Amino acid sequence: MRLVADESVEFFVVAALRTAGHEVYSIAEEDHGITDVEVLGLAYERGEVLLTEDKDFGELVFSHDRPHRGVVLLRMHGMRPHDKTARIVMLFSVHGYEFSNAITTVGPRSIRIRPRA
């Protein structure tokens, strides 16, 4: 799967997804400091799902009706890095195809996928 990882996503998550075979464009590596609107637009233009830990993207999509190809919001604060990466890699393996054109919220023990209407 091809993804754009927002600056809020720790590099160990990006590295784990790459190791699992996903193509991840990292904002921290490539476009550090661009705005959330620019990040969402970049992911849309590239045709890729946005991976983030920043709740502001939900507001951009729901309240401001910004176009997207899918947003995965990680709400996994406090998890150990190994547990967090294992969960994320597993979810992309099992549900990755469902993340396109949906807003997905991932917690330590839950996942909510809301397809675009």
Per-residue pLDDT of the chain in tens (117 residues, 90 and over written 9) = 999 999 999 999 999 999 999 999 999 999 999 999 999 999 999 999 999 999 989 889 888 889 999 999 999 988 999 999 999 999 999 999 999 999 999 999 999 999 976
36 in Cβ contact with 56 (< 8 Å):
yes
**Domain positions in the chain:** 2-111
E-assigned strand segments in the chain: 2-5, 23-26, 49-52, 71-74, 102-106, 111-115
In the prediction, which pLDDT does 117 show? 64
In the prediction, which pLDDT does 12 show? 96
Architecture of domain 2-111: 3-Layer(aba) Sandwich (3.40)
In the prediction, which pLDDT does 111 show? 95
In the prediction, which pLDDT does 59 show? 87
pTM for this entry: 0.94
CA separation for the pair 64, 25 (Å, rounded) = 24
In the prediction, which pLDDT does 70 show? 95
